[in-house]
Amino acid sequence: VVLRPADANEVAEAWRVIMGMRHDPVALVLTRQAVPTLDRARYAPASGVGKGAYVLADPPQGLPEVIVIASGSEVALAVDAYERPTGEGAAVRVVSMPSWELFDRQPATYRDSVLPPEVRARVAVEEASTMGWHRYVGTDGAVIGMHTFGASAPLKALQTKFGFTPDAVIEAARDQLERRRDST
């Protein structure tokens, strides 16, 4: 089981999950990047880590139009992007997915409550390989991730060059929404 927590709250919760696991090998993958500790009075509690993925932020009313999925340090980027389109009227859900393995073990009803099948506009954000993320965004979903190897520069410069910015996530979400609206 791989666990990629997004902030200090998720790290603490990941330790609780690990201590309760008896027979599974676990890799706890932490970032070297400075990530913010999310305000859990504003966003969902980190207790969803044990289920592998959970709704971190949701639109104020109704179902989301687009879902942004991330794990580890990329969750902060997804939250930054969430703050902007939500203010512009788009109904966005942010899903923190620290563990594919734990999420895939959940009943279909739980998985569908986090990633409703009827919401097909989805974007995953992964600063490493895009491999595997289409399982959660669908064949038409967008994955913002790396397709190359070997770039070297200051982190902020690389993030901008490869599209790991709130603006790039927002643009991918808008593209997903437009594609869905055009197909109906």
Helix (H) or strand (E) holding 104: helix 100-104
CA distance 38 to 61: 22
Confidence of residue 69 (pLDDT cuts 50, 70, 90): very high
Q: Which two tokens stand for residue 116?
A: 């409703």
**Burial level of 119, CB count in 10 A (0-12/13-18/19+)?**
middle
Confidence of residue 86 (pLDDT cuts 50, 70, 90): low
Among residues of the chain, what percentage have pLDDT more than 90? 53
User: Can you name the residues that pair with 28 across neighbouring β-strands?
Assistant: 3
Confidence of residue 25 (pLDDT cuts 50, 70, 90): very high
- Which pTM was predicted? 0.87
Which residues, at least 6 apart from 124, have a Cβ–Cβ distance to it below 8 Å?
68, 69, 70, 130, 133, 136, 137, 141, 142, 143, 144, 145
pLDDT at residue 61 greater than cutoff 90: no
Provide the pLDDT for residue 156.
67
Tens-place pLDDT, residues 109-151:
999 999 999 999 899 998 877 788 999 999 888 888 776 666 6
The residue-averaged pLDDT of 43-57 equals 97
Provide the pLDDT for residue 113.
97
